[in-house]
Amino acid sequence: MNQITKRRFHFSGVILLGLIVGIISYPQAVRFIPPVFNVLEKLKVNEGLDLQGGIHLEYSADVSQVPSDKVGEALSAVQAVIERRVNAFGVGEPLVQMSRSGTEERIIVELPGIKDIEQAKKMIKETPFLEFRELADPNSDVAKQFDTLNAETKVTAQGILDRAKKGEDFGALAKEFSQDPGSKDKGGDLGFAKKGTYVPEFDAVLFDPNFKSGDVYPTLVESQFGWHIIKKIEERGEGDTLEVHGAHILFAKRSIDQYPELQWVVTGLTGKNLKSASVDYRSQGVGSPQVALQFDSEGTQLFADITKKNIGKPVAIFLDKEIISQPTVQNEIVAGQAVITGNFTMQQANDLVKRLNEGALPVPITLVGQQSVDASLGQDALQKSLFAGLIGLGAVALFMILYYRFLGLIAVFALLLYSAMLFTLFKLSAFTPFSITVTLSGIAGFVLSIGMAVDANVLIFERTREELGYGKNVYKALDEGFRRAWPSIRDGNYSTLITTFILIGSGTGFVKGFAIILTIGILLSMFTAVVLVRVTLRFLVSTWAEKHPWLLVPSKKVSKRDDE
């Protein structure tokens, strides 16, 4: 293949690329071909929250169980999990950021394009909060607090008993003080009952033959439920048919067993330590499905410590603050594996595994605010912004054509081709895992990359002017212009790319969106300026340029090279 054929082939590729990205960017151009137009018309650019509106959610993070020196790390992990859930690759531009309201840690989530608040909440919160807890020490300060509370309750009960014995209305006292919800509103009335109906301590008093009808028992009666003040109203029948009509006022005992969040203390082993979850079966595939867990290195060590000090004791598995399994530890487990049993159906087990593997939240979060957000720019403001951008682009194009003449005209063509390629990339990204959502910050990155593309062309054309000034022919001047401009273009763009990579790695939300689109724009602009412009000029510049070199760029007489 000779040089002329090769140039034609390369230029044909540029024209074909221009046609493809052109009709994808502006499908109205093929409206006369309905099948093609209907397909291309469905391709849309994903607009961000500030352009099209969406959902704003605000969550409160419960870090009460996190050591103070680990709070920042836990919140960063929550943010990372939420970002991963709403946009696995970070280019959908969800805004996930931390804030503080007084002493409360908040998480702000903005999701562009989502109109259904319930769908948004499900997207964020459906991942369960998994944690392992062990029994509290019965001699702990918390357990002792219950002994103090019960002692105070008994004193109160004795006071009410003294008032009842002095003849105060028993029913009124029961309605005011009784903690038995079944009889409180009835004035403590229990109706007629046979022996054996109540707990033994209560039964023994109520059916005591020395306890006369109409009397209040002189002492408090203690049972597993608390302290009872008992009144015998009447009785009927005798022997096996004896029934007693009684009433009581209950002062309930408080026990740590009634408060799972206090009965079970945190161990530090949570869903953040989960490496993987899978569905397993008991008895080698026969029986109910169960969920097998595999922990990371930190979780393996924690689980080993937990099982070692709780041999013969239960360890509770909490899912969203509810106990779903309470196995008794038989021996120390050092392999970092655990099993959740709970009479799951196959579907329930699969759903739980899916939710756990999608990423567990390191700390619980609670929704405290929600709202739908309208487009902050509005259609009118967006149109004005685009109009201003077109004016700016037109001014740049006019300058390039007037100053660089034919080369400027090629630069304008390259800018249009670059814009169409980037716009096409925005549309087609919706069909990939790397879907790009365009926001105002992304538009800023796009405009900045256009400026850098123009800058690359200016460097090339100025170098070409210099080479023409040395008396070289047009072909050699163009080749040398591209060769000598490339190091400056490369270094300038590389330094910007380093900055964008840092922003992508450390930024969130709109900052990351700006950096991602600027990165894509820089790479495309380099390709356009260095490859597409060069291919186009090699094909279009022929003998006419040798006869009229002033049509390419203004002449520049140079006596010798600057580096000679």
CATH number at residue 192: 3.10.50.40
In a domain, 296, yes or no: yes
134: in domain: no
Of all helices (H) and strands (E), which one includes residue 500? helix 474-506
Cα dist from 98 to 23, 80, 368, 558, whole Å: 42, 11, 14, 59
Whether 267 and 246 map to the same domain: the answer is no
Indicate if 385 and 534 belong to the same structural domain. Answer: yes
Phi/psi class of residue 312: alpha, beta or left (left: φ > 0; alpha: ψ in -120 to 50)?
A: left
**In this predicted structure, what is the pLDDT of residue 385?**
64
What are the structure tokens assigned to 341, written together? Answer: 């049993």
Decide: residue 525, CB within 10 A, 0-12 exposed, 13-18 middle, 19+ buried: buried
Q: Are residues 169 and 113 in the same domain?
A: no
- In this predicted structure, the answer to whether residue 558 has a pLDDT above a threshold of 60 is no
Tokens encoding 27: 């499908």
**pLDDT (average), residues 227-249:** 92
149 and 228 in a single domain? The answer is yes
The distance of Cα 172 from the centroid of its chain, to the nearest Å, equals: 55
Condensed to tens digits (0 to 9), the pLDDT of residues 470-519 reads 777 777 888 888 888 888 888 888 888 998 888 887 765 567 778 888 88
Q: Is residue 558 part of a domain?
A: no
- The secondary structure element, H or E, covering residue 428 is helix 378-428
| Residue 314 resides in a domain | yes
Task: State the helix-helix crossing angle for 474-506 and 533-540, rounded to 10 degrees.
Answer: 170
- Inside any domain, residue 560: no
Nearest to 46 by CA among 438, 343, 377: 438
Helix (H) / strand (E) element for 245: namely: strand 243-252
Same-domain check for residues 504 and 464 = yes
Residue 384 reports pLDDT greater than 80: no
Q: Which of 256, 279, 301 is the last residue of a domain?
A: 256
Domain shared by 399 and 493, yes or no: yes
- Lowest mean pLDDT segment, chosen from 167-171, 188-192, 423-427: 423-427
Rounded CA-CA distance 377/152 in Å is: 62
CATH, residue 439 = 1.20.1640.10
Query: Strands 437-438 and 46-47, how do they pair?
Result: parallel
Q: Are residues 240 and 278 in the same domain?
A: no
Helix runs in 223-334, H state only: 260-263, 297-309
pLDDT-derived band at 559, boundaries 50, 70, 90: very low
Q: In angstroms, how far is the first alpha carbon of the chain from the final one?
A: 37
Average pLDDT, the chain: 81
Q: Which of 492, 490, 494 is nearest to 482 (CA)?
A: 490
| 526 and 447 together in one domain | yes
Domain boundary, last residue among 256, 285, 302: 256
Question: Does any domain span residue 564?
Answer: no
Whole-angstrom distance, CA of residue 232 vs CA of residue 243: 11
Which candidate, 41, 31, 264, places its Cα nearest to that of 135? 264
Q: 314: which DSSP letter? A: B
Which of 213, 231, 256 is a domain's end point?
A: 256
| Among candidate residues 329, 323, 305, the one with its CA nearest the CA of residue 264 | 323
Residues 214 and 284 in one domain: no
Q: Domain tally for the chain?
A: 4
* Two structure tokens written together for 554: 């203004």
Domain of 524?
Answer: 3-43+377-551
Do residues 119 and 150 share a domain? no
Window from 101-115, 184-198, 391-405, 488-502 with minimum mean pLDDT = 101-115
CATH at residue 264: 3.30.1360.200
Residue 318 belongs to a domain? yes
Give the pLDDT mean for 13-41: 86
- Does residue 247 sit in the same domain as residue 266? no
Q: Based on the fold, state whether residues 298 and 427 are members of the same structural domain.
A: no
Check: CB of residue 216 under 8 Å from CB of residue 165.
yes
